[in-house]
Amino acid sequence: MNIRLYNARILTMEEGAEIFEGEVLIQNDRILYVGEKDSEAVFQNTWDREIDCKGNLLMPGFKDAHTHSGMTLLRSHADDLPLDEWLNHQIFPVEARMTGEDIYELSRLAALEYLTSGITAVFEMYLTPETIADAFDHMGMRCVQVGGINNFGGTMQEMEERYQKLNHKSPLQSYMLGFHAEYTCSKALLEQVSALAHKYQAPVFTHLAETENEVMGCRERYGMSPMAFLDSLGIFDYGGGGYHCVYMTADDIAIMKEKGLFAVTNPASNLKLASGIAPVTDFLKSKVRVAIGTDGPASNNCLDMFREMFLVTALAKFREKDASAVDAMEVLKMATVNGSYAMGLVDTDVLAAGKLADMIMIDLHQPNMQPLNNIAKNLVYSGSKQNVVMTMIHGKILYENGKFTACDPEEIYERAEKIRNRIGS
C-alpha cells in the first residue's frame, strides 16, 4: 500500500535537521520520499491513500529500548511494597505460573499500549521468546528480543537456536544475545555467553548496575564492578550494552565508551523501585550513547515514552543541580535514533528515503502543544500519549485517531483478564 502524508510538519531526526513543512510518501514498507516539494510534481499519482496531516508533526516512531512486555499481567498487581517482598513474594510466584500462551496474550496487550504511545519497536527480554515473536508478529509490531539466560532458566543451546531461528522469522522480528544479569548468572555461564558472542561476533545486552546492592555484591564476589567484571570476560568485545546503568563509576563509563556500548536508561522504574537516578550527563560527556526504555509494566507501571522522556531530562537536571542539563533534542535522539541502533535496527532511525516506514504523527492541535514556541521542547516537556494520533509500523497504520486498526482491543483485554483471574491474583 502506498500512502501520501501531506500538509505535515516533519522532524526527520537526521543529525542537525530542523522541523520543516512538507510531505512523506510511503511505498509498501519503506519511505519513498521525505521533503518540502509537492510530491505530485515529483512522482506519478500512485498512492492508495492520502492523509492531510493538518500541520501535525511526523517523526520516527519511539523505540522502547528495554521492556518485559508479558509483565502487563503484573501491572498494579503489587505496588508500594519493599523491593524484596515485591519481587520474591508477589512477582516471581505469579511468573512461575505463566504459560507461553499467557505470555502471547499479555504481549499483545502490551503492544496495544506501545501503539498508543507512538512506540514502533521494542527491545524485549522475557520468558518465552517463540510466543513473544508470534504475538508481536501478529500485532504487526517490530520487536527485537534479547536472551535472558540465567542460573534458573534457559540453556545456551536454546539461545543459539533462537539466535538463528528468530532472526529469520519475519521482517518484524529479530533476536540478540543476552543474559539476565551478573548477579543471576554463574561465572561459568557468563563465560559461555562470551564464547557465543565471539562465535557470532555479536553484541550482548544485560541488566547492569541497576541497584547499589547488585554492584556491592559483584565487588564482593569478584573484586570488580559488574561492568569491569563482564568486560574482563570479553562479553562486550562485539558491543552491546546495559539496561538501567544507575550505579556506574568513571571507569565503568570509560569501558562503555571504549567498547561502543549503549546505556539504556529506565528512569520511571528506577524511581518507583527506589533504585536511583542514572548518571545520564556523565554518559553524554563521555560520548556513550544513551537509549530509553520503560522497563516492564510491573515496575513502571505504564509503557509510555513521553513520561520516560520527561524523566530523563528532568532527573538529570535535578541530579546535576543544573536546569540546562540534557536538552530536549538530545532526549528525542535517545528515544528514536539511539534506541534504533541499540536494537540493531539500522533502518528505523530517521525519516529518509529508503528507510523503513516506522513513523508517528503528533497532534499539535492540542492545548499542551500550544503555542508553537518550540515543537521539540513541547514534545519532551509537555507531550503525552493523547498527542499520538497515528502509529505506523513497516508501512502499516496500526493506530489512528484513538482506534486500533488491525485488532480488537476488547478481545485482548478479555483474554488478559481471564489470565489474571486464573493465576494473577
Confirm if 10 and 58 have CB atoms less than 8 A apart: yes
Closest distance of CB 272 from a second copy, Å? 5
Residue from 158, 160, 237, 320 in contact with a second copy (CB under 8 A): 320
Site for a second copy in 359-388 (CB under 8 A): 365-368, 370-375, 377-378, 381-386
Closest distance of CB 144 from a second copy, Å? 21
Residue from 28, 76, 151, 155 in contact with a second copy (CB under 8 A): 76
**77 or 162: whose CB is closer to a second copy?**
77
**44 or 421: whose CB is closer to a second copy?**
421
User: Pseudo-torsion of CA 139, 300, 119, 261, nearest 10°?
Assistant: -110
Confirm if 310 and 302 have CB atoms less than 8 A apart: no
**184 or 382: whose CB is closer to a second copy?**
382
Residue from 56, 301, 338, 391 in contact with a second copy (CB under 8 A): 301
**290 or 302: whose CB is closer to a second copy?**
302
What is the secondary structure of 231-290 as a DSSP string?
HHTTTTTT-EEEEE--S--HHHHHHHHHHT-EEEE-HHHHHHTT-----HHHHHHTT-EE
**CA 135/CA 111 separation, integer angstroms:** 9
**CA 55/CA 151 separation, integer angstroms:** 53
CA 14, chain centre distance (Å): 19
**CA 357/CA 345 separation, integer angstroms:** 12
157 lines the binding site for a second copy (CB under 8 A) = no
**CA 304/CA 354 separation, integer angstroms:** 28
Site for a second copy in 114-133 (CB under 8 A): 116
Residue from 44, 157, 201, 324 in contact with a second copy (CB under 8 A): 324
Closest distance of CB 142 from a second copy, Å? 17
75 lines the binding site for a second copy (CB under 8 A) = yes
98 lines the binding site for a second copy (CB under 8 A) = no
Closest distance of CB 164 from a second copy, Å? 32
Residue from 314, 406, 407, 423 in contact with a second copy (CB under 8 A): 314
**Total residues in contact with a second copy, by rule CB under 8 A:** 77
Closest distance of CB 86 from a second copy, Å? 6
Closest distance of CB 81 from a second copy, Å? 5
**164 or 368: whose CB is closer to a second copy?**
368
CA 167, chain centre distance (Å): 18
- Give the CA radius of gyration of the chain: 21
Site for a second copy in 194-233 (CB under 8 A): none
Site for a second copy in 253-272 (CB under 8 A): 268, 270-272
In a 3-state reduction of DSSP, which class is residue 195? helix
Residue from 1, 42, 81, 195 in contact with a second copy (CB under 8 A): 81
Closest distance of CB 281 from a second copy, Å? 12
Confirm if 339 and 349 have CB atoms less than 8 A apart: no
18 lines the binding site for a second copy (CB under 8 A) = no
Residue from 249, 254, 276, 405 in contact with a second copy (CB under 8 A): 276
**What are phi and psi for residue 410, nearest 5 degrees?**
-60, -35
What is the secondary structure of 325-383 as a DSSP string?
SS-HHHHHHIIIIIHHHHTT-TTSSS--TTSB--EEEE--SSGGG-S-S-HHHIIIII-
**CA 214/CA 261 separation, integer angstroms:** 20
Site for a second copy in 397-416 (CB under 8 A): 402, 409-410, 412-413, 416
